[in-house]
Amino acid sequence: MMKPVYISAAAALSPQHSFDADRLLPDVVSSSNGKLNVIDTDYSKFINPVAIRRMSRMLKIGISTGMRTVQLAGINTPDGIITGTGRGSMRDMELFLGDMIRLHEEALNPTYFIQSTYNSINGWLAMQTKCTGYNQTYVHRGHSLEVALLDAQMLLNENDAKRTYLVGSFDEMTEEYFVVKNKAHYWKKALPESLYLLQHSDTNGTIGGEGAAFFTITNEAEKAICRIEQIHLLHEPTTTSVQTAIDSVLATNGMKLKDLDVVLCGMSGDARYQPLYQPILENTTAHTTVAAFKHLCGEYDTSTGFALWLATRLFATQTVPEVLIQKKGINPSIGNLLLVNHYPQGTASVMLLSIDK
Amino acid sequence: MAERIVVTSLGIVSALGNGADANLQALLSGTPGLHYPRHLQSVHAPEFLMGEVAHSNDDLCTLLGLPTGNNGYTRTTLLALVAMQEVMKGIDKQLLQDEGFACINANTVGGMCAVEDLYPDFISDVQEGDFLKYIDTLDCAESTQNIVNYFGIKPFTATISTACSSSANAIILGARLIQHGIVKRAICGGCDALSRFTLNGFHSLKNVDKQPCRPFDNTRFGLNLGEAAGYLLLETEKSAKERGAEILAVLSGYGNTNDAYHPTAPSPNGDGAYNTMQLALHKAGLQPQDIDYINAHGTATINNDAAEGKAIERLFENNIPLFSSTKPFTGHTLAAAGSIEAIFSIWGLQQQKAWGNLHFTTKMEELAITPVVQTQDAQLHHVLSNSFGFGGNNVSLIFSKA
C-alpha cells in the first residue's frame, strides 16, 4: 500500500473563470453550440515572447497553466514533470495533416509537426523551469491524467527525500475534432444550453469540452491543500463495478459512505452512462453532497483535471457552489471528497481526497 | 533496485522480419532491412529507403486470424498484435491474468497510418462509410486497447508517448509497477507504423537521409525511418523461478531525464544523455567501466550522434565500451525503437555479440571514438541501451547477463 501524497498548488485554464478569479466560479459561462472552450488568459505572462509567436493555442494553454502552478507552489524548478493528454495539440496535427494532403506532401511547415508531438508541452515546461529530472507523458484516453498522478505517487513512495512533481493534463476541442467525434456519436443531436446539460440525461450524447489543469504533487504534508489517499482505475466500467470500486476504496481507507462529505461526479448528461452514477445519487446518506462538473467544462479525455482542480477549491473554500449541486447534503464542512469520473472509451476512475478537519 | 527484475519473454516484428528468429538471423548475418517502401503510399516513397515490415496489412491480418480488408484495425495495431502474439507464447495466459499484470504500450502517432487516408471523410459531410470503423483510431491508446480486446486480457494498462524514447519509458514503468507490488508482471514495449505524416514531418525538418543512414560517421546526413513493434515480459526473478521460466536477461538499471534545452535538438555537449546514462548506472549500482557494450540511440542525425558521442566520451573516459547503433538495420522505428533495441541488447548478452554499426567508414571530426563496424564476438556482462527523443526526453536502460 502506497503512502498518500499531497497537492500543494493547482491551476486550471477552463471554459469557466478558473484561472485568475478571486472567487470560486464567478459568472458561470454557458454555451449553446455543443461545446465549451477555454477562456483565454494573457499567455505572454508565462511564455517567452519570441517562442510564443509560433505556438499553437494548446501549447500556450498547457504551458501557461503549468507555469502558473509552479508559481503558486512557490518553486522555480520541480523535481520532475508528468503529464497526461488524450490528444495533445489536436490543432497542430490537423494543420500538418491538412497541409500534407492539400500540398501533396511538399513544402510543409515543421512547426506544426513538432508541436503535434504529445510530449511537446512537457519539453517546453522542462525548458522553462530548467527541470532536467524525470519527464513523462501519458496518452491513455480517459486515464491519461490518472496514470500521471499514479506515477507521481509511485515516485514519491520510492524516495523519502522531499520532492515536488509538476503533474498536469491538457486537451482541446477543435472544430474538426468536434465533427469527427460527432460521427462517433459523442454529442447530443439536439444541442442543449450547456449549463442545463444534466437536465437532458434522458438522451444519448453530451457536449464537447477542453481544458488544462496542473498540480504540484509532493510528500510535504505541511504544504498541502489536500491529500490524495488513493487512485483507483476501472476498465469497461459497469454500474456494479463502479459501486464495488467505491466500496473498496472506502474500505481500504477505513471509511463508510456516510463519511464522504462530497462526491464529485463526471455525469455528462448522456443517457448511456448516467446509470453509472445513479447509485451514488441514491445510496449516499443525507450527510453527503453529490456534485457534478461536466456542465461547466464539457466532456474530454482529461476532464478529471478540471474536477481535481475544482476539488482543491472546494477544500480551500469549504463550500460547494449551488451550480455544482445535484443532491444537497447537510455536511457542515468538507473533509473527505470522492471524485468519480467516466470517459466514453471504456475507462473510469475513483479518487479519494481528504484534509484533516 | 529492491527485487531483481528479469525479462522472460520477447516479441518482435520489424523490417528484419517477423519474430525473434528472423530478426536475430538478420543481425547475425549483417543483413539490413531497408528498402524503398512497397506498402506506404507516399509521393516520397521512391526517394527514401525505409525499414518497412514486409507483410501487407492483409498478410498481418491472416497471421492473426482476423478478416482482411477494411476491418477497423490500423497497421500500428496489427504490428503490435503480431509482436504480442510472440510474447504471449512465453507465459500461460491464465497465470498472467490470475496473478495480476500490466500492459504498458507506447506510440507516437497512434493510427495515423490509417487516419491520413481517411481524414477528408472524417471532416466532410459524409456520414456513412468504411471510414467510420477507424473514427476512433487516431489516439495512441487505440493499439493498447486492441491488444487487450484481441487477447481477451484484463491488465493494468497505460500508453506512453515521449517521442523516440516512448517504449524505453514503457519498460521503466512496467518495472516500477512490479517493484511497487501493483502488478506481478508487465508486458512493456511499443509500436509504430510508417505513415506519410511522420515521413513528411521528419522530411520537413530535413532530418531524413536518402542514402542508408550512417550513425557516428562523419558523412552522416540524417535518419531512415522504420516501423516495428517490440514487447518484453518483465517479472521478478522470484516469480520467474517459481514458474520455471527461462530468464533471458536482468533489467538492472534505468534512467529518465530531460535535456531542458530545445524542442527538437539535444544539448550540444550531450548533458542530457550524460545524466541519463549516469542515472541508469547509479540505479544499477554499476561503474562506467562495468558497461561492456552500448546500443546507442545513434539516429545518424547531425545533432544526436554528436551529443550522444560526446556524452559517451565524457562518461566513460578511458574505458569507452564497444558501441554501435542498430538503426541501419531497422531504420528509426520511433516509439518502438526503445523496446526493439532492448531486445537487440538482450540478444547481445545471450549471443555474446556486439552488433555492427553498418555503413560506418569515417570517424566523426567532433569525436575521438568510433563504433563497432562489423558484428563481433565480445564478452558482455552489462549492456546499456539509449533512447533519446524530441522534447528532450532521454532514457537509458541497463540489461545484465542472466
- Domain identity same for B274 and B361: yes
Q: 10 Å Cβ neighbour count for A51?
A: 15
Residues in Cβ contact with B393 at an 8 Å cutoff, skipping those fewer than 6 apart? A119, A122, A123, A135, A137, B162, B163, B164, B165, B169, B256, B258
- Is B73 part of a structural domain of the chain? yes
Q: Which fold has domain A227-354?
A: Peroxisomal Thiolase; Chain A, domain 1 (3.40.47)
Is residue B153 located within the same domain as residue B216?
A: yes
Question: Does the pLDDT value for residue B249 go beyond 80?
Answer: yes
Instruction: State the pLDDT at residue A356.
Output: 85
- Reply yes or no on whether the pLDDT at A207 is more than 80: yes
Residues B304 and B218 in one domain: no
> Which of residues 69 through 128 in chain B touch A, CB cutoff 8 A?
107-108, 112, 115-116, 119-120, 122-123, 127
Residues B264 and B190 in one domain: no
Q: Do the Cβ atoms of B261 and A88 come within 8 Å?
A: no
Residue B153 lies in a domain: yes
**Do the beta carbons of residue B213 and residue B327 sit within 8 Å?**
yes
Does the beta-carbon distance from B139 to A87 stay under 8 Å? yes
pTM over 0.90: yes
SS3 content of chain B, % helix, strand, coil (to 5): 40, 20, 40
Residues B315, B368, single domain; the answer is yes
Angle value at C-alpha A37, between A33 and A40, nearest 5 degrees: 140
The pLDDT tens digits for B117-133 are: 999 999 999 989 999 99
- Residues B120, B211, single domain; the answer is yes
Report residue A159's pLDDT band, with 50, 70 and 90 as the boundaries: confident
Instruction: Look at A113 and B145 and tell me if their CB atoms are within 8 Å.
Output: no
Cβ A179–B123 below 8 Å, yes or no?
yes
Dihedral angle computed from the Cα positions of residues B15, B17, B20 and B22, in that order, rounded to the nearest 10 degrees? -130
Residues of B recognised as catalytic: 164, 297, 332
Q: Is A129 on the interface with B (CB under 8 A)?
A: yes
Separation of alpha carbons B261 and B271, rounded Å: 10
Per DSSP, which regions of B224-348 are E strands? 228-236, 249-258, 293-295, 322-324
Give the pLDDT band (50/70/90) at residue A148: very high
Same domain as B223, residue B183: yes
Task: Examine the fold and report which residue of B185, B215, B242 is the final residue of a domain before the chain moves on.
Answer: B242
Interface test with A, best of B161, B188, B197 (most A CBs within 10 A): B161
- Let me know whether B230 and B282 are in one domain: no
Residue B200 contacts A where some CB pair is shorter than 8 Å: yes
3-state secondary structure of A309: helix
Q: Domain spanning A5-223 has what CATH number?
A: 3.40.47.10
B330–chain A Cβ distance below 8 A for any pair: no
Which of B135, B139, B178 is best to mutate for the A interface (most A CBs within 10 A)? B139
What residue type is B70 in one-letter code?
Answer: N
Chain A residue numbers with beta carbons less than 8 Å from the beta carbon of B264 are 114
Domain boundary among B242, B266, B285: B242
Same domain as B261, residue B229 = no
- Which grid coordinates are listed for A169? 493534463
Domain presence at residue B142? yes
A122 touching B (Cβ < 8 Å): yes
CA distance A309 to chain B (A): 23
Query: Are B322 and B192 part of one and the same domain?
Result: no
Give me the mean pLDDT over the A11-30 stretch. 95
What ipTM, to 2 d.p.?
A: 0.98
The domain in which residue B353 lies consists of: 253-400
Asked if domains A5-223 and A227-354 share a fold, the reply is yes
Compute the nearest-CA separation of B161 from chain A (Å).
6
Boundary of a domain, candidates B242, B263, B289? B242
Q: What is the pLDDT of residues B294-315, one digit of tens each?
A: 999 999 999 999 999 999 999 9
The C-alpha of B69 sits at a distance from chain A's nearest C-alpha, in angstroms, of: 21
- Where do the domains of chain A lie? 5-223, 227-354
In a domain, B248, yes or no: no
Residues B187, B296: one domain?
A: no
Q: Are B161 and B291 members of one domain?
A: no
Q: Scanning every residue of chain A, which has its alpha carbon at the shortest distance from the alpha carbon of B258?
A: A132
Is the Cβ of B303 closer than 8 Å to some Cβ of chain A? no
- Looking up residue B393, the CATH number of its domain turns out to be 3.40.47.10
Question: Is the pLDDT at B12 greater than 90, yes or no?
Answer: yes
A236: DSSP letter: S
- Quote the number of domains for chain B: 2
